[in-house]
Structure 1
Protein backbone atom coordinates (compact mmCIF):
# COMPACT_ATOMS: atom_id res chain seq x y z
CA UNK A 1 0.00 0.00 0.00
CA UNK A 2 2.95 2.34 0.56
CA UNK A 3 3.50 2.36 -3.18
CA UNK A 4 0.24 4.24 -3.77
CA UNK A 5 1.24 7.51 -2.12
CA UNK A 6 -1.33 9.57 -4.03
CA UNK A 7 -4.17 7.33 -2.84
CA UNK A 8 -3.46 7.35 0.88
CA UNK A 9 -6.67 7.64 2.85
CA UNK A 10 -8.79 5.89 0.23
CA UNK A 11 -10.55 2.64 1.20
CA UNK A 12 -8.63 -0.61 0.79
CA UNK A 13 -11.09 -2.02 -1.75
CA UNK A 14 -10.28 0.90 -4.07
CA UNK A 15 -6.52 0.77 -3.61
CA UNK A 16 -6.60 -3.00 -4.16
CA UNK A 17 -8.37 -2.40 -7.50
CA UNK A 18 -5.74 0.17 -8.46
CA UNK A 19 -2.94 -2.24 -7.60
CA UNK A 20 -4.60 -4.85 -9.83
CA UNK A 21 -4.76 -2.33 -12.68
CA UNK A 22 -1.06 -1.57 -12.19
CA UNK A 23 -0.09 -5.26 -12.05
CA UNK A 24 -1.99 -5.94 -15.28
CA UNK A 25 -0.58 -2.80 -17.02
CA UNK A 26 -4.12 -1.45 -17.36
CA UNK A 27 -3.81 1.88 -15.56
CA UNK A 28 -2.63 3.89 -18.59
CA UNK A 29 -5.23 2.38 -20.95
CA UNK A 30 -7.98 3.15 -18.42
CA UNK A 31 -6.88 6.77 -18.11
CA UNK A 32 -6.52 7.17 -21.87
CA UNK A 33 -9.98 5.73 -22.40
CA UNK A 34 -11.58 8.09 -19.86
CA UNK A 35 -9.48 11.12 -20.82
CA UNK A 36 -8.24 10.68 -24.40
CA UNK A 37 -7.16 14.29 -25.00
CA UNK A 38 -4.99 16.89 -23.36
CA UNK A 39 -5.84 20.58 -23.09
CA UNK A 40 -4.17 23.44 -24.91
CA UNK A 41 -3.93 25.82 -21.94
CA UNK A 42 -0.15 26.09 -22.01
CA UNK A 43 0.60 29.77 -21.35
CA UNK A 44 0.03 31.69 -18.16
CA UNK A 45 -2.22 34.11 -20.04
CA UNK A 46 -4.38 31.22 -21.24
CA UNK A 47 -4.42 29.78 -17.70
CA UNK A 48 -5.39 33.17 -16.24
CA UNK A 49 -8.24 33.52 -18.74
CA UNK A 50 -9.38 29.95 -17.99
CA UNK A 51 -9.42 30.57 -14.23
CA UNK A 52 -11.16 33.95 -14.52
CA UNK A 53 -13.83 32.43 -16.77
CA UNK A 54 -14.66 29.79 -14.13
CA UNK A 55 -14.48 32.36 -11.33
CA UNK A 56 -16.84 34.71 -13.16
CA UNK A 57 -19.27 31.89 -13.75
CA UNK A 58 -19.52 30.78 -10.10
CA UNK A 59 -17.83 33.30 -7.81
CA UNK A 60 -18.49 36.73 -9.32
CA UNK A 61 -18.62 38.49 -5.97
CA UNK A 62 -15.43 36.93 -4.61
CA UNK A 63 -12.21 38.88 -4.30
CA UNK A 64 -10.33 39.53 -7.53
CA UNK A 65 -7.40 37.33 -8.51
CA UNK A 66 -4.22 39.20 -9.30
CA UNK A 67 -2.08 36.37 -10.63
CA UNK A 68 -2.48 32.87 -12.01
CA UNK A 69 0.55 30.82 -12.98
CA UNK A 70 1.92 27.38 -13.60
CA UNK A 71 4.57 26.68 -10.99
CA UNK A 72 7.29 24.07 -11.40
CA UNK A 73 8.24 24.45 -7.74
CA UNK A 74 5.03 22.90 -6.46
CA UNK A 75 5.85 19.41 -5.28
CA UNK A 76 2.93 17.10 -6.02
CA UNK A 77 4.52 14.40 -3.89
CA UNK A 78 3.72 16.44 -0.80
CA UNK A 79 0.04 16.57 -1.80
CA UNK A 80 0.14 20.06 -3.32
CA UNK A 81 -1.44 20.22 -6.76
CA UNK A 82 -2.05 23.90 -6.71
CA UNK A 83 -1.67 26.74 -4.28
CA UNK A 84 -3.70 29.75 -3.42
CA UNK A 85 -2.14 32.62 -1.58
CA UNK A 86 -3.54 35.70 0.02
CA UNK A 87 -0.97 38.44 0.39
CA UNK A 88 -1.71 41.61 2.35
CA UNK A 89 0.57 44.62 1.99
CA UNK A 90 0.43 48.17 3.24
CA UNK A 91 1.03 50.65 0.43
CA UNK A 92 0.82 54.35 1.16
CA UNK A 93 -1.32 53.89 4.24
CA UNK A 94 -3.73 51.55 2.45
CA UNK A 95 -4.02 47.83 2.96
CA UNK A 96 -3.91 46.02 -0.36
CA UNK A 97 -4.74 42.35 -0.73
CA UNK A 98 -3.78 40.08 -3.58
CA UNK A 99 -5.04 36.61 -4.34
CA UNK A 100 -2.80 34.36 -6.39
CA UNK A 101 -3.40 30.88 -7.76
CA UNK A 102 -0.56 28.61 -8.78
CA UNK A 103 -1.02 25.26 -10.52
CA UNK A 104 1.63 22.56 -10.54
CA UNK A 105 3.41 22.55 -13.91
CA UNK A 106 2.76 18.84 -14.28
CA UNK A 107 -0.80 19.81 -15.24
CA UNK A 108 0.32 21.81 -18.29
CA UNK A 109 0.20 18.45 -19.99
CA UNK A 110 -2.80 16.27 -19.29
CA UNK A 111 -6.56 16.26 -19.50
CA UNK A 112 -8.47 19.52 -19.15
CA UNK A 113 -10.75 17.82 -16.61
CA UNK A 114 -7.86 17.50 -14.13
CA UNK A 115 -6.81 21.11 -14.65
CA UNK A 116 -10.42 22.20 -14.08
CA UNK A 117 -10.64 20.16 -10.88
CA UNK A 118 -7.51 21.82 -9.50
CA UNK A 119 -8.69 25.30 -10.52
CA UNK A 120 -12.10 24.69 -8.91
CA UNK A 121 -10.33 23.53 -5.74
CA UNK A 122 -8.17 26.65 -5.58
CA UNK A 123 -11.07 28.97 -6.41
CA UNK A 124 -13.13 27.42 -3.61
CA UNK A 125 -10.45 28.64 -1.20
CA UNK A 126 -11.48 32.22 -2.04
CA UNK A 127 -14.62 31.57 0.01
CA UNK A 128 -13.67 28.66 2.26
CA UNK A 129 -10.16 28.55 3.70
CA UNK A 130 -10.48 25.10 5.28
CA UNK A 131 -11.18 21.74 3.65
CA UNK A 132 -14.54 21.37 5.34
CA UNK A 133 -18.02 20.33 4.24
CA UNK A 134 -18.85 23.79 2.88
CA UNK A 135 -15.60 23.80 0.90
CA UNK A 136 -16.36 20.49 -0.82
CA UNK A 137 -19.97 21.51 -1.44
CA UNK A 138 -18.68 24.59 -3.25
CA UNK A 139 -16.25 22.45 -5.26
CA UNK A 140 -19.12 20.16 -6.28
CA UNK A 141 -21.28 23.17 -7.17
CA UNK A 142 -18.60 24.38 -9.60
CA UNK A 143 -17.71 20.88 -10.81
CA UNK A 144 -20.39 18.24 -10.12
CA UNK A 145 -17.95 15.43 -10.90
CA UNK A 146 -15.33 16.86 -8.52
CA UNK A 147 -14.73 13.79 -6.34
CA UNK A 148 -14.40 11.39 -9.29
CA UNK A 149 -12.03 13.78 -11.03
CA UNK A 150 -9.91 14.09 -7.90
CA UNK A 151 -9.64 10.31 -7.66
CA UNK A 152 -8.84 9.94 -11.37
CA UNK A 153 -6.27 12.72 -11.14
CA UNK A 154 -4.61 10.76 -8.34
CA UNK A 155 -4.58 7.72 -10.63
CA UNK A 156 -2.88 9.91 -13.24
CA UNK A 157 -0.24 11.03 -10.73
CA UNK A 158 0.32 7.39 -9.79
CA UNK A 159 0.79 6.57 -13.48
CA UNK A 160 3.28 9.42 -13.90
CA UNK A 161 5.19 8.40 -10.79
CA UNK A 162 5.45 4.70 -11.64
CA UNK A 163 5.61 4.61 -15.43
CA UNK A 164 5.90 8.13 -16.81
CA UNK A 165 3.85 10.26 -19.16
CA UNK A 166 1.04 8.76 -21.25
CA UNK A 167 0.18 11.83 -23.29
CA UNK A 168 2.38 12.84 -26.21
CA UNK A 169 3.29 16.38 -27.11
Structure 2
Protein backbone atom coordinates (compact mmCIF):
# COMPACT_ATOMS: atom_id res chain seq x y z
CA UNK A 1 0.00 0.00 0.00
CA UNK A 2 1.37 3.40 -0.97
CA UNK A 3 1.46 6.50 1.18
CA UNK A 4 -1.88 7.91 2.24
CA UNK A 5 -1.75 11.40 0.71
CA UNK A 6 -4.68 12.81 2.69
CA UNK A 7 -3.07 11.77 5.97
CA UNK A 8 0.37 13.26 5.37
CA UNK A 9 1.50 15.06 8.51
CA UNK A 10 -0.53 12.92 10.91
CA UNK A 11 1.28 10.83 13.55
CA UNK A 12 2.58 7.44 12.41
CA UNK A 13 0.42 5.51 14.87
CA UNK A 14 -2.77 6.99 13.37
CA UNK A 15 -1.64 6.25 9.81
CA UNK A 16 -0.84 2.67 10.87
CA UNK A 17 -4.35 2.25 12.32
CA UNK A 18 -5.86 3.53 9.08
CA UNK A 19 -3.68 1.20 7.01
CA UNK A 20 -4.88 -1.71 9.18
CA UNK A 21 -8.52 -0.73 8.56
CA UNK A 22 -7.86 -0.53 4.82
CA UNK A 23 -6.02 -3.88 4.74
CA UNK A 24 -8.87 -5.60 6.57
CA UNK A 25 -11.46 -3.93 4.30
CA UNK A 26 -13.20 -2.22 7.23
CA UNK A 27 -12.59 1.47 6.51
CA UNK A 28 -15.95 1.85 4.74
CA UNK A 29 -17.70 0.00 7.58
CA UNK A 30 -16.06 2.30 10.14
CA UNK A 31 -17.12 5.44 8.28
CA UNK A 32 -20.62 4.08 7.65
CA UNK A 33 -21.13 3.38 11.36
CA UNK A 34 -20.10 6.93 12.31
CA UNK A 35 -21.65 8.88 9.46
CA UNK A 36 -24.74 7.15 8.15
CA UNK A 37 -26.88 10.25 7.57
CA UNK A 38 -27.01 11.99 4.22
CA UNK A 39 -28.45 15.47 3.90
CA UNK A 40 -31.16 17.37 2.07
CA UNK A 41 -28.89 20.21 0.89
CA UNK A 42 -28.80 19.29 -2.80
CA UNK A 43 -29.36 22.56 -4.68
CA UNK A 44 -27.30 25.73 -4.71
CA UNK A 45 -30.23 27.61 -3.17
CA UNK A 46 -30.48 25.11 -0.31
CA UNK A 47 -26.70 25.37 0.19
CA UNK A 48 -26.92 29.17 0.29
CA UNK A 49 -29.72 29.00 2.90
CA UNK A 50 -27.78 26.42 4.94
CA UNK A 51 -24.64 28.59 4.89
CA UNK A 52 -26.59 31.74 5.77
CA UNK A 53 -28.18 30.03 8.78
CA UNK A 54 -24.74 29.06 10.11
CA UNK A 55 -23.38 32.53 9.36
CA UNK A 56 -26.26 34.29 11.13
CA UNK A 57 -25.80 32.04 14.15
CA UNK A 58 -22.04 32.45 14.56
CA UNK A 59 -20.80 35.35 12.40
CA UNK A 60 -23.48 38.02 12.49
CA UNK A 61 -21.02 40.89 12.11
CA UNK A 62 -19.02 39.37 9.24
CA UNK A 63 -19.34 40.72 5.72
CA UNK A 64 -22.31 39.31 3.79
CA UNK A 65 -21.84 36.41 1.40
CA UNK A 66 -23.38 37.09 -1.99
CA UNK A 67 -23.17 33.59 -3.46
CA UNK A 68 -22.77 30.03 -2.24
CA UNK A 69 -22.76 27.19 -4.75
CA UNK A 70 -21.64 23.66 -5.44
CA UNK A 71 -18.80 23.62 -7.93
CA UNK A 72 -18.04 20.55 -10.03
CA UNK A 73 -14.75 22.09 -11.16
CA UNK A 74 -13.17 21.99 -7.71
CA UNK A 75 -10.92 18.99 -7.62
CA UNK A 76 -9.76 17.13 -4.56
CA UNK A 77 -6.43 16.60 -6.30
CA UNK A 78 -5.65 20.30 -5.98
CA UNK A 79 -6.61 20.04 -2.30
CA UNK A 80 -9.56 22.35 -2.82
CA UNK A 81 -12.76 21.11 -1.23
CA UNK A 82 -14.13 24.61 -0.99
CA UNK A 83 -13.05 28.11 -1.88
CA UNK A 84 -13.73 31.53 -0.52
CA UNK A 85 -13.22 34.42 -2.91
CA UNK A 86 -13.50 38.17 -2.61
CA UNK A 87 -14.11 40.31 -5.67
CA UNK A 88 -13.90 44.09 -5.48
CA UNK A 89 -15.44 46.38 -8.09
CA UNK A 90 -15.64 50.12 -8.42
CA UNK A 91 -19.22 51.29 -8.74
CA UNK A 92 -19.29 55.03 -9.21
CA UNK A 93 -17.30 56.49 -6.32
CA UNK A 94 -17.74 53.41 -4.12
CA UNK A 95 -15.75 50.24 -3.85
CA UNK A 96 -18.11 47.25 -3.70
CA UNK A 97 -16.91 43.93 -2.37
CA UNK A 98 -18.61 40.60 -2.99
CA UNK A 99 -17.77 37.36 -1.27
CA UNK A 100 -18.46 33.96 -2.75
CA UNK A 101 -18.13 30.47 -1.32
CA UNK A 102 -17.88 27.45 -3.59
CA UNK A 103 -18.12 23.92 -2.24
CA UNK A 104 -16.90 20.86 -4.15
CA UNK A 105 -19.86 18.97 -5.60
CA UNK A 106 -18.73 15.72 -3.96
CA UNK A 107 -20.33 17.10 -0.78
CA UNK A 108 -23.79 16.58 -2.32
CA UNK A 109 -23.37 12.86 -1.58
CA UNK A 110 -21.16 13.19 1.50
CA UNK A 111 -22.52 12.78 5.03
CA UNK A 112 -24.17 15.84 6.58
CA UNK A 113 -21.37 16.28 9.13
CA UNK A 114 -18.76 16.66 6.38
CA UNK A 115 -20.85 19.26 4.57
CA UNK A 116 -21.16 21.24 7.81
CA UNK A 117 -17.41 20.96 8.41
CA UNK A 118 -16.49 22.36 4.99
CA UNK A 119 -19.08 25.16 5.22
CA UNK A 120 -17.78 26.09 8.69
CA UNK A 121 -14.24 26.08 7.28
CA UNK A 122 -15.15 28.45 4.46
CA UNK A 123 -17.20 30.71 6.74
CA UNK A 124 -14.24 30.99 9.11
CA UNK A 125 -12.32 32.58 6.23
CA UNK A 126 -14.69 35.56 6.48
CA UNK A 127 -12.92 36.49 9.73
CA UNK A 128 -9.52 34.79 9.40
CA UNK A 129 -7.86 34.54 5.99
CA UNK A 130 -4.97 32.30 7.05
CA UNK A 131 -5.04 28.82 8.54
CA UNK A 132 -3.67 29.94 11.89
CA UNK A 133 -4.54 29.25 15.51
CA UNK A 134 -7.35 31.84 15.56
CA UNK A 135 -8.82 30.30 12.40
CA UNK A 136 -9.01 26.82 13.93
CA UNK A 137 -10.37 28.20 17.19
CA UNK A 138 -13.17 29.87 15.23
CA UNK A 139 -13.87 26.61 13.37
CA UNK A 140 -14.02 24.74 16.68
CA UNK A 141 -16.36 27.39 18.09
CA UNK A 142 -18.80 26.89 15.21
CA UNK A 143 -18.39 23.08 15.17
CA UNK A 144 -16.95 21.63 18.41
CA UNK A 145 -15.99 18.35 16.70
CA UNK A 146 -14.19 20.17 13.87
CA UNK A 147 -10.81 18.45 14.37
CA UNK A 148 -12.31 14.95 14.39
CA UNK A 149 -14.51 15.75 11.39
CA UNK A 150 -11.52 17.03 9.43
CA UNK A 151 -9.63 13.81 10.13
CA UNK A 152 -12.65 11.64 9.27
CA UNK A 153 -13.18 13.62 6.06
CA UNK A 154 -9.62 12.72 5.11
CA UNK A 155 -10.50 9.07 5.79
CA UNK A 156 -13.62 9.46 3.63
CA UNK A 157 -11.56 10.89 0.74
CA UNK A 158 -9.03 8.06 1.14
CA UNK A 159 -11.86 5.50 1.07
CA UNK A 160 -13.34 7.05 -2.09
CA UNK A 161 -10.05 6.54 -3.92
CA UNK A 162 -9.59 2.91 -2.90
CA UNK A 163 -10.13 0.35 -5.66
CA UNK A 164 -13.57 -1.25 -5.45
**Which residue is equivalent to 1:91?**
91
- TM-score, length-normalised on structure 1? 0.94
Name the structure 1 match of 2:81. 81
Task: Report the Cα offset of residue 57 of structure 1.
Answer: 0.2
Corresponding residue for residue 151 of structure 1: 151
In 2, the alpha carbon distance for the partners of 1:140 and 1:89 equals 33
Gaps in structure 2 of 5+ consecutive residues: none
Q: Compute the RMSD of aligned alpha carbons.
A: 1.1
1:132 is matched with which residue? 132
Structure 1 partner of 2:40? 40
CA deviation string 1:22-43 (max 9, x = no partner): 0000000000000112111100
Shift of 1:153: 0.5
Which deviates further from its counterpart, 2-11 or 91-100? Answer: 2-11
- 1:78 CA drift (Å): 2.0
Aligned-pair distance for 1:140? 0.2
Q: Is the 8 A contact 1:6 1:77 kept in 2?
A: no
In the TM superposition, what are the counterparts of 1:1-169 in structure 2 within 5 Å? 2-163=2-163
Give the TM-score, by structure 2 length.
Answer: 0.97
Report deviation, 1:124. 0.4
In structure 1, the gaps of 5 or more residues are 165-169
Aligned length: 164
Mapped contact 1:87–1:97 kept (Cα < 8 A):
yes
Q: CA deviation at 1:91?
A: 1.6
